[in-house]
A and B are shown apart, each in its own frame.
Chain A
Amino acid sequence: MKKLINAVDQVENQMISGMVKAYPHYLTKLNCGNVVVRTEKKSGKVALISGGGSGHEPAHGGYVGTGMLDAAVAGAVFTSPTPDQIYEGIKEIATDKGVLMVIKNYTGDVMNFEMAREMAEMEGIKVEQVIVNDDVAVDNSLYTVGRRGVAGTVFVHKIAGALAETGADLEEVKEVAEDVIANVRSMGMAIRPCTVPAAGVPGFELKDDEMEVGIGIHGEPGTHRETLKTADEITDMLLDKILADLDYSGAETAVMINGAGATPLMELFIINNRVADVLAEKGIKVYKTFVGEYMTSLEMEGFSISILRLNDRLKELLDAPADTPAFKA
């Protein structure tokens, strides 16, 4: 394992500290583990909290700021944060308008956030939650715990955060977050795995001519493995799955081409070149495109495509001002 780290057990802590030192006017770290909150706490609005394992930077700390999150909780690399950490975050940001938890649909995340919610509710804090499940690689059947939450989560942070900033009620903010979840679909793939520092070995191995399709964001294996194809062929394959899952016809969309951590921007633009052409061909309008690293998986080489079907309200909230370390509008 070759990594720019000091000690395996200091990775998360030093990462968060470094992020806070880079953006002190946005982020403040709590003294109870790796929890960051907005430096300028805003009252009179629904407070948003999200989080997950570390290793997804800039998610989630990078989205703390005006018009997005009020707190982000970071667990160990690819491991959900613990309930007491999440609870401390909730307590710190809670307003009388309540708190919305944005959870990605992974068993551990859901359980830890729900335990934190139980703790907060015992203290009289009003808490609601939404569970993001945008990954179309996994069939949403009785036989899984449902689809995973991946990069589409950033759209939930952006849009629900924008509505919360206007002083809307908890129920309204939850409703718009659910509207985003209902309208966003994602799928990803990788050509090279990543190594969790504490594990020291890659999550899976790929031969030079192989790729892993339908990958999540935790370095875990995807749904299947096949021979590497061209960028256009791979893009078509992911798009087919996404477009078959939701009727985008005639709709305006927001597109996110998300790098997994070690994918050159050059390649992400090559992907977007194809995505834009295919969508144009199908009469699906692209209102806004985001290309870059939004929800990474350490040094994994790969990408995901997320497509959000917009309506007037979602469009307006997507355009609303946001000022965070990793996302500005």
Chain B
Amino acid sequence: MDAKKITEILHALSSKIDKEKEFLTELDNVIGDGDHGINMARGFKAVDAKIDTLETEDIGEILRTAGMTLVSTVGGASGPLYGTAFMKAGMTMSKKTQISLSDFLACLNAAVEGVKMRGKSVQGEKTMLDAMIPALEAMNKAIEQGLTSADVLKCGTEAARQGVEYTKTIIATKGRASYLGERSIGHQDPGATSFTNMLEAVYDYITA
């Protein structure tokens, strides 16, 4: 898969986030401050515009640019977190013009480490990590079993969705939802949800 396809995937993420904007905002209204969808959609709209002006075959540069654009347009906590995730993913792809499935997993691994570092967070705190880490683990396992790209992505999205379900059962201990204490139980995490949306968009793209 080359730079052109990566650009198309980023556009696909953007339209998916735009489609889910209101739902994400609704989720955030309950346990946060009700702007997750709005902020993410604004950021990805800027990514849309920015990546079309890039004339490069370097996938690392495309991902880093997407990350920097998110950092400078999303704001809140999601901006630095998703921005860092894309920038770290971009660093693993520096100067590469082709991306394989295992490259993609290396990107996701770097993204997880980036989010942990920036958010000073671990799994089980009702954050996007609760979808990211299970998805990464499921895809690593699937790739070992020799499954096709589509099936690997399918395992990943299913694990991410389960991760979202899991966030309903736990108390938030990071981010603004943590101020609600036990009142955060029963509600799914908007960040885990938006990550799952993105993975779904990647799956839809490669199976289309």
Contacts and interface: CB of A to CB of B under 8 A. Distances in A.
B118 A111 contact: yes
Contacts of B119: 107, 111
Nearest to B77: A108
Given A84-B72, A107-B119, A196 B179 contact: no
B33 interface: yes
Interface residues of B, number: 34
Contacts of B174: 107, 145
A84 B72 CA distance: 6
A257 to B, nearest CB: 22
A218 B36 CA distance: 13
The size class of the interface chain A forms with chain B is 35 or more
Interface in A247-297: none
B71 A199 contact: no
Interface string B78-119: 111100000000000000000000000000000000000011
Interface in B16-68: 25, 29-35, 38-39, 42
A223 B78 CA distance: 23
A82 B25 contact: no
Contact of A196 (B35, B75, B81, B118): B35
A218 B180 CA distance: 13
Contacts, number: 108
A218 B33 CA distance: 6
B55 to A, nearest CB: 23
- Main DSSP-derived SS at the B contact region: helix
Given A196-B34, A199-B38, A219-B34, A75 B75 contact: yes
A147 to B, nearest CB: 9
A111 B35 contact: no
A198 interface: yes
Interface string B112-131: 00000011000000000000
A112 B183 contact: no
Contacts of A115: 71, 80
A81 B35 contact: no
B71 A82 contact: yes
A83 B39 CA distance: 15
A148 B32 CA distance: 13
Given A199-B25, A203-B34, A108 B79 contact: yes
B72 A82 contact: yes
Most buried by A among B39, B77, B178, B183: B77
B39 A76 contact: yes
B33 A203 contact: yes
Contact of B35 (A106, A107, A198, A223): A198
A80 B33 contact: no
Most buried by B among A84, A144, A196, A204: A144
B181 interface: yes
Contact of B80 (A111, A203, A216, A218): A111
B14 interface: no
A148 B34 contact: no
B38 A198 contact: yes
B76 A223 contact: no
Given A79-B39, A84-B72, A108-B77, A201 B180 contact: no
A92 interface: no
Interface string A86-115: 000000000000000000001110011001
Contacts of A201: 29, 34
Given A107-B119, A107-B175, A143-B171, A112 B75 contact: yes
Nearest to A219: B33
A82 B181 contact: no
A78 B33 contact: yes
A131 to B, nearest CB: 13
Given A111-B81, A143-B171, A223 B179 contact: yes
B176 interface: yes
Contacts of B118: 111
Contacts of A76: 35, 39, 42, 75
Contact of B73 (A82, A145, A196): A82
B75 A82 contact: yes
B186 to A, nearest CB: 13
A81 B75 contact: yes
Across the A-B interface, give the 8 residue pairs with the lowest CB-CB distance, nearest first: A108-B77, A111-B80, A108-B76, A79-B75, A144-B178, A218-B33, A107-B77, A220-B33
7 contacts: A83-B72, A111-B81, A111-B118, A115-B71, A196-B34, A198-B35, A218-B33
Interface of A: 53, 75-85, 106-108, 111-112, 115, 137-139, 142-145, 148, 196, 198-199, 201, 203-204, 216, 218-221, 223-224
Given A82-B75, A223-B179, 18 more contacts: A79-B39, A79-B76, A80-B75, A82-B79, A106-B77, A107-B119, A108-B75, A108-B77, A111-B118, A112-B75, A115-B71, A115-B80, A144-B181, A198-B35, A203-B29, A203-B34, A216-B176, A216-B179
